[in-house]
Structure 1
Amino acid sequence: MKEKLGVVPFWQGYDRKEVLKIARIAEDLGYESIWIPEAWGYEQFQLLTEIAKETTRIKLATGIANVFSRSAGLLAMSTATLDEISEGRVILGLGTSGKNVVENFHGTPYRKPLTRLRETIGICKTLWRGERLTPEQSTLAELRHFKLAMTPVRADIPIYVASLQPKAVRELGRIADGWVPTFWPYEHFNEGLEWIAEGARDAGRDPSEIELAPFLGVVPIEDVDFARSALKPMISFYIGGMGTYYHDMFCRFGFTENADLVRDLYVAGNKQESIAAVSDDLVDAIAICGSPEHCRERLGEWRANGMGHGLVGLSPGATADSVEFILKAVAPA
């Protein structure tokens, strides 16, 4: 089986020119994909178009587009346009984001996120097939019988969903092509995959056709303690500064005491203490640190636990030179 890995630049400290170099390096090394994030900085579809013009093979993914800041129709149009420009290399990564950024940055009410996700996927697929929308396809908007005034290169552009909650993970088993969990402990992939299988079976689908593509941190250096320390600031931020999603997930998988401590220190404004409090066991459950040989071995363990397409997260402000070392160390065989 082909070892599939993707690359995910971080949205903070994003350097367009460096990421273009990284995309070319990743393509030359045999990486499967590059996933461009979006928060409140650069706009991802324009960045992906720029990368499409500089590459020929690597797949181009939104990592992740939220379903509130663009209408379903605009998402369908943007994705189909990029797929044409890139000659069929797009993966549409979707998620629901969170209430704060959706309402306080985009100015859109954060209502019924799972319903919006489900309906967005249905609308996109209808439009890509060249069919007309119907009013029955949405409970959140008044749709009319529009169809795309262009013919998409592909009617089946793959859609991957980033979700953590059981109900949402089951739903993607019914409607999506891949699952993109962030910081999900790899030894517990089976739990999420079973939720996906339940949804897939309900929809008459084969669960094995839905790919597990987790975000993961990889720091391939001999000094394991230093490698872990490079990841702890981001883990602290996700537990303490990204709402309750990640804290709750870590509690569910046996890290309650550590997650509570990290969160409480972060919320109290003790950021450095929060970072220091992230346990080595938690880091090792969601990331890979150590020598290149160790990292490659651990990637094999992640694959044995169900990973089909690992997405290697890069540090904020990472340069092409520093990233090249990481990508070469764990390049797909």
Structure 2
Amino acid sequence: MTDRTGLLPFWKNYDRKLYLRAAILADELGYDSFWIPEAWGYEIFSLLTEMAIHTKQIKLGTGIVNCFSRSPGLLAMNAATVDEISEGRLILGLGTSGKRVIEGFHAREFDKPLTQLRDVIRVIRTLLSGRRLHESGAELHDYRPFELAMKPLRPDIPIYVAALKRKSITSIGELADGWIPTFWPYEKLSQGHAWIAEGAAKSGRDPGQIVTAPFTTVVPLGDAGIREARQIVSFYIGGMGDYYKQLLSGFGYAEECKRVDELYRDKKTRSQAADAVSDEMIEALTIAGDPKHCIAELKRRREYGIDLPILSLPTNLPWEMVELFIRTMAPTA
């Protein structure tokens, strides 16, 4: 049985034509899925529709779409439409995003994010299954008895959730089909799995059926790959708010995170931040080195409960380098 592997481009400086080409190649090489990010650039469901038309078998995922900027009903409509166009290949990846983006760009109040996320999942499940909206059990709004005025191709489109905190991860076990962690130390995944099992027990679900699909940084460029991995980790700690700093501090990297953050926040010392990322953090959070090592290490880490690693594609590089990465890390039987 071929190991499942996904691919994910970065949202910044997104090259639509290049990544369409990447999705077509990934489809030919047997990748499980191709995921599209969304921030404040391209709109995600339009991109997935384009990819659906040009591919045949590869699954197509939102990686991720936030649960605030579109109404829950519209998200259900988006999902049902793209799933039909792709002939049943959509995976709906959801998350809350953060206050700065939701209020500062989308002009929506960032209130009760976990409850909002749970409501969105309930509404989507209800509408896709052909039931009426007021039956969803949503907490934040009183819905009228609407139903979708079309028949979804699938009543059970998989829903994965990007989450880093305990309550959110527990909710995955209760309501969702997959967990998308980012920069979660692979040896600590068992903690997240235990929280998923707690949620699954509430709903009488089998936690073993819930997919663990981490966004995974792999840099198969030898020593240059290790240097690049340090840059990536320092960016997430110092440049992505407090999410990853808090997460990694809780896993025993508080001193390293504090030092990286201090260096990164000051533009005069930002170039030094990557050097403050320890070897232990690189090993725990990324896979870097020569291609043979990266391939073998990715396979080894599946033993820790990784079902579907979603590999971050190279950014700001020509097609030849992106193609080389895709071919190098392609799944094998």
- Comparing 146-155 with 131-140, which one deviates more in the overlay? 131-140
Report the alpha carbon displacement of residue 82 of structure 1 after superposing the two structures with TM: 0.2
**Could you tell me which residue of structure 2 aligns to residue 71 of structure 1?**
71
What secondary structure sits across from 1:253 in the alignment? helix
Alpha-carbon displacement from aligned partner over 1:85-126 (angstroms, at most 9, x marks no partner): 000000000000011101101011100000000010000000
Provide the residue aligned with 2:211 in structure 1.
211
Q: Deviations over 1:278-324 (max 9, x none)?
A: 22321221111122221121112210000000100023234332122
Task: State the Cα distance separating 1:135 from its structure 2 match.
Answer: 6.9
Which one of the candidate residues 233, 236, 239 is aligned to 2:234? 236
CA distance in 2, matches of 1:322, 1:101: 31
Query: Does the aligned pair in 1 maintain the 2:122–2:136 contact within 8 Å?
Result: no
How far apart are residue 136 of structure 1 and its match? 6.7
1:7-18 to structure 2, matched below 5 A, reads 7-18=7-18
Structure 1 runs of 4+ aligned residues shifted over 3 Å read none
Letter in 2 for 1:75: L
8 A contact 1:179–1:212 mirrored in 2: yes
After the TM superposition, which residues 163-178 of structure 1 pair with which residues of structure 2 at under 5 Å, given as runs? 163-178=163-178
Structure 1 residues 12-47: Cα deviation after superposition (integer angstroms, max 9, x where no partner): 111011001100111111100000000011111101
2:313 touches 2:325 (CA, 8 Å); kept in 1?
no
Alpha-carbon distance in structure 1 between the residues aligned to 2:327 and 2:290 = 13
Q: CA deviation at 1:148?
A: 0.3
Say whether 1:84 aligns with 2:76.
no
Deviations 1:152-175 (A, max 9, x none): 000000000000001110111100
Q: Per-residue displacement from partner, 1:196-228 (whole Å, max 9, x unpaired)?
A: 11111121000000000001111123x2x3102
- Equivalent-residue separation in structure 2 for 1:170 and 1:326 (angstroms): 34
TM-score (norm 1): 0.96
2:146 aligned partner: 146
Q: Which residue of 1 aligns with 2:283?
A: 284
Distance in 1 (alpha carbons) for counterparts of 2:232 and 2:287: 14
Quick one: distance in 1 between partners of 2:30 and 2:92?
21
Q: Distance in 2 between matches of 1:135 and 1:84?
A: 24
Counterparts of 1:183-222 in structure 2, within 5 Å, are: 183-221=183-221
Identity %: 50
User: Residue type matched to 1:299 in 2?
Assistant: L
Q: Tell me the distance in 2 between the aligned counterparts of 1:23 and 1:320.
A: 12
Q: Which amino acid aligns with 1:308?
A: D
Letter in 2 for 1:246: Y
Partner of 1:103: 103
Q: Secondary structure at the match of 2:114?
A: helix
* Structure 2 contact 123–136 (Cα < 8 Å) conserved: no
**CA separation of 1:156/1:5 partners in 2, compared to 1, >3 Å: closer, same or farther?**
same
What SS class does the counterpart of residue 54 from structure 2 fall into? coil
Residue in structure 2 matched with residue 128 of structure 1 by the alignment:
128
Give the distance between the partners of 1:245 and 1:274, measured in 2 at CA. 17
Q: Conserved in 1, the CA contact under 8 Å of 2:126 and 2:136?
A: no
Q: Deviations over 1:260-285 (max 9, x none)?
A: 11111122333212223222321221
| 2:192 counterpart SS class | helix
* Two-structure CA RMSD over aligned residues (Å): 1.3
Cα distance between partner residues in 2 of 1:135 and 1:207: 25
1:50 aligns with 2:50: yes
The size of the alignment, in residue pairs, is 331
| Aligned counterparts of 1:302 and 1:318: Cα–Cα separation in 2 | 27
**In structure 1, C-alpha distance between the alignment counterparts of 2:47 and 2:136, rounded to whole Å:** 34
TM-score with structure 2 setting the length: 0.96
How far, CA to CA, are the matches of 1:193 and 1:44 in structure 2?
Answer: 29
Q: What SS does the aligned partner of 2:163 have? A: coil
1:272-311 counterparts in 2 under 5 A?
272-311=271-310
